[in-house]
Structure 1
C-alpha cells in the first residue's frame, strides 16, 4: 500500500503524526511481529526475490492497518480496492495478513465509515487501483457515491467501463485517462465540470457529447481515442 499524505484534511502534519517516539516504536514492533509470524511467498509482487516490509500489507486497504487514525481526506492517493477473498488466496497458495474474521460488528463498520470520511474530500487521487474483479469495482463505486464535495478527481488507469450511475455534484476537474470508456454516455453525472480529460480510452463516436452542453465545460481532452479520426471531429 503506497500512499502519500496531503493537506486534504483540516489537520496539520504535526497532528497527523504524533511526536511521541513511543508511537513509532509500537508501530515498528507491530510490524516486526507480523514479519516473524507470517510465511511469505518466495517472490513478491514487485518481482524482487527478497522480501520487502510492504509485502505483509499488500492486500490491505489503509484503514485495515492497525494503530493509526488517518482518515480518507488526509490521504493523497489511498488504496481503496479490496484484496482477494480467502478462497482465491488458498488457490494462490498465499496467506492473508489478517486473521480470519467472522461477522463484522456494526460498531466496527461504523468506525470504518467514519474513518473513510469521503464526504469531506475536495481533492482526491484514486488512480492505479488495479480493479480487476467485480467485487473491487463495486467497492470503488460505493466510495465514488460518497464524494459529494470533491472538486478535483483523478481516476487514471482503473479499467473503468461505466460510471453512468454515479453523480459527482461538485466535481470541476475530472481526469479519467487510460480507462475503457467507449461512449460519453458512460461518464458520471458531472453538472459542474470545467475540465474533463478522457485521453487513451476507447471512445469511437461523439454520440452523447450533448450531455455536456449544459455544463460550464471549458476544456475536453480526447487524445488517442478512435473518435479523433472521424470527419468533422474538431468542428464538433
Structure 2
C-alpha cells in the first residue's frame, strides 16, 4: 500500500516537472522570437509594462462612445467651421490661396442643438472694424485664378456668401465653381473671366449664367439645361470651347448645328472640334422656296 502511494507521488512529481520544463522552453523561445523580430519599440506591448494614460481633460477629448468606439470630438474639431482668415496670427490673403474654403459654419444656435458645444468657443463675435479688416484680408479683388469648388453650398446663407465673393472677383481670369448646388448667377458679372467651370450644378437655362464678356472656355456639363434658348447671349463673346454634355438639351435634333449657328466663334463643342456637318445648310431666299413648292 505504501509502495503504491510512493510510486503515484513520484509520477505526479515527474509530470509537474515536465510541464514546468515545457513552459520554460516556450517562454525562452518566445523571448528569442521577440528579440529577433520585434522593433525596439515593441516592448510597449508587454502587459507587464504600464502604458501612460492621457487625461481627457488635458487633451480636450471626450471618452470613447459606446456605439462608435472612437474618441469624439478630436482636438481639431473646434476649428472645423473656421475659414482661414478667422485664424489668429497670420497674414495670408485670399489671392494667395488657390483653393480657399469660403463656406461659413452654421450659427451658434444650430451648433448648440447639434450638440457641438466644443465649437462655440472657437468663434468670437467680431466688431465692425474687425469685420472690415477681414474683408480686406480676403482681397478677392486681386484674385486671378481661383477654385471655389465643392464648397457644400446647400443652405441659402451659404449661397449668398458665395455670391458676395463672386461680386468682388473683378480681375479673375480662371474660375472653378464645380458641384456647388448653384442655380442662378445672372446678377453676377465676371468682366475678365476667360475660363469658367460650372459643372455639376443646378442650372436650368443659359439665362441663369453670369455675364461673361471675355469668356473663351465654358463648362456646363452635368446640369439640367433643357433648351438652347438664351444661348445667343454668348454670341458676341470670344467663346471658343463649350461643354454641354449630360444636359437634356444634348438630345435635341440638330443639336450641334444649332449650337454652332448661335455661336459663330465656337471651335469646339463637348471636346470635339467643329466638323463640316456641324455647319448649318445655307439659307435659301423666300422666292426659291416658293418655286420649290410650285
Task: Decide whether the 8 Å contact of 1:121 with 1:147 is kept in 2.
Answer: yes
Matching of residues 17-96 of structure 1 within 5 Å: 36-37=59-60, 49-50=70-71, 52=74, 54-95=76-117, 96=119
- Report deviation, 1:106: 2.2
Q: Residue 218 of structure 2: SS of its match in structure 1?
A: strand
Deviation at 1:72, TM superposition (A): 0.3
Give unmatched runs, 5+ long, in structure 1: 1-34
State yes or no: 1:190 paired with 2:212: yes
How far 1:90 moved relative to its partner? 1.5
Q: What are the ranges of 5 or more consecutive residues in structure 2 without an aligned counterpart?
A: 1-57, 259-294
Q: Are 1:171 and 2:215 counterparts?
A: no
Q: 1:155 aligns with which of 145, 170, 177?
A: 177
Larger % of helix: which? Answer: 2
Partner of residue 18, structure 1:
none
Mapped contact 1:176–1:197 kept (Cα < 8 A): yes
Measured at CA, do residues 113 and 41 of structure 1 come closer, stay the same or move farther in structure 2, by a change above 3 Å? farther
The separation in 2 between residues aligned to 1:61 and 1:40, in whole angstroms, is: 28
Matched, 1:116 2:138: yes
SS at 2:255's partner residue? coil
Deviation of 1:67 after TM superposition, in Å, equals 1.9
Mapped partners of 1:218, 1:135: distance in 2? 35
1:105 to partner: Cα distance: 1.7
Other-structure match for 2:243: 221
Partner of 2:233: 211
Alpha-carbon separation, structure 1, partners of 2:170 and 2:63: 40
The structure-2 alpha-carbon separation of the partners of 1:202 and 1:48, relative to structure 1 and needing over 3 Å to count, comes to farther
TM-score (norm 2): 0.63
Deviations 1:124-173 (A, max 9, x none): 00000000111111111000000000000000000000000000000000
Q: 1:38 to 1:164 in 2, by over 3 A?
A: farther
Q: How many residues align?
A: 199
Change (3 A) 1:134 1:195: same
SS at match of 1:235: helix
Is the 1:151–1:170 contact (alpha carbons within 8 Å) kept by the matching residues of 2? yes
SS in 1 for 2:183: coil
Question: Are the counterparts in 1 of residues 62 and 71 from structure 2 also a CA contact under 8 Å?
Answer: no
1:24 matched residue in structure 2: none
**Cα distance in structure 1, aligned partners of 2:90 and 2:145:** 22
- Report the Cα distance in structure 2 between the residues aligned to 1:79 and 1:48, rounded to whole angstroms: 30
TM-score, normalised with respect to structure 1: 0.78
Quote the residue 1:134 is aligned against.
156
The alignment status of 1:233 with 2:255, answered yes or no, reads: yes
Quote the offset at 1:97 in angstroms. Answer: 4.9
Provide, for residues 52-80 of structure 1, a one-character-per-residue CA deviation record: whole Å limited to 9, x for no partner: 55433211111112221110011111010
3-state SS of 2:106 partner = coil
